[in-house]
Amino acid sequence: MNKVSVVDLAYIATFAALIIVLGAVALPVGSLGVPIVLQNMGIALASMLLGCARGGFATTLFLGVGLVGVPNLAGWQPTLSAIAGPTVGYLVGYLISAFLIGAIADRAPQGARHTRTRMFIFLLAGVLGVLTQYVCGSIGLMIRLGLDFPTSIASNVPFIPGDLIKIAIAATIATAVLKAVPDLVHRPSPRVS
C-alpha cells in the first residue's frame, strides 16, 4: 500500500489553492444563477497534470475547505452556502469530473514523442469532464428549481463555447508542463494509511 508523500500533499494543496484563486473570475449568465467561472478549468488542469488520485484529492480539498466556511467558490462564497442553491449539482459534477479527467489522463502515453496523442487524450478527458459537470448541474437545477431535464440541460448552452476554450487552454498548458517536467507524471496511487 502506497502512502501519500509530502510532495503529493504539496501538489494537492497547491492545485486546490489554484482552483480557489480561479474563483475570483465569475461572470453571471442568465437568470438561473450559474456564473461563468474559471474553476472548472483549474479542476481539469489539476486532473490532467496530477492524474486521478491527486487531481481528485485536490478537487476534494477545494470543495472540502468550503464546507468549513472558507470562501472558495465564485464570488468568494463557501461551498456550504451553495449546497442549498441551484448550483449544487455543478459542485458534485466538479468532484466526479476531477476523478474522471484524471483517470483518462493517467492513460495518456508518456514521453516527448507522444505529445500530440497526450494532447488529444487531455482534450477528450476535458470534454467528458465538462459533459459530466453539465449533467450533474442539470440534475441539480431540476431538483432545486423544478425544471424538466430538457430545459435544465439547455441552460448549459451559453457555457459551451467558453468551456471548450477553457478545456483547450488546460490541455495545452498540461501538455507543455508535462513535456517540460516529465517527472510530474509519476502518479502513485496515494492512499492515506
Range 50-53 contact pairs with CB under 8 angstroms and sequence separation of 24 or more: 50/11, 50/12, 50/15, 50/102, 50/184, 50/187, 51/102, 51/103, 51/105, 51/106, 51/185, 51/187, 52/99, 52/102, 52/103, 52/105, 52/106, 52/187, 53/102, 53/187, 53/188, 53/189, 53/190
Architecture field, domain 6-180 = Orthogonal Bundle (1.10)
For the chain, the structural domain boundaries read 6-180
Give pLDDT tens digits for 3-54: 778 999 999 999 999 999 998 877 776 655 567 789 999 999 999 999 999 9
Strand partners for 37: 26
pTM of the complete model:
0.89
